[in-house]
Amino acid sequence: MEITAKWLTPAEVERTHKTGVATAKAMVQSAFPDWPDSRTDALLSATMTVWGRGPLITANTLVRTSDLITAAWDMRDQIAGVMLLRDGEGFTPLYLHRLTLALKMQSPKALWVDFEPLKGT
């Protein structure tokens, strides 16, 4: 078997990105079945931006932590969001009231989920 490599064209890159985003949206929507699509799309978009990760990696983390995010969402009137602290193979939620503290604490092992972009969706 011979393996060859080639560079993707700009059109192929765009098509691959669109496919990844569509798959990620479907993953997040299935993890949050009681949420409207507009909220799950906003969650995916906001966390991709804040975490600096691609759609599929972000969606995988959101799926793994959907129960923690849903529990925190129920307290959305009292907190700004939830910090997901990596704890071995899982995550521990830290409920924060201030965005400024969350942004200072964020790291590759502490992922911030801001509720502000999700409100009104």
Does pTM surpass 0.85? yes
Confidence of residue 92 (pLDDT cuts 50, 70, 90): very high
pLDDT at residue 85 tops 80: yes
Structure tokens at 18: 């669109």
% residues pLDDT > 90 (the chain): 79
> Order of strands, edge to edge, in the sheet holding 90-96?
90-96, 81-87, 110-114
Give me the chain's average pLDDT, please.
93
Q: Is the pLDDT of residue 109 over 80?
A: yes
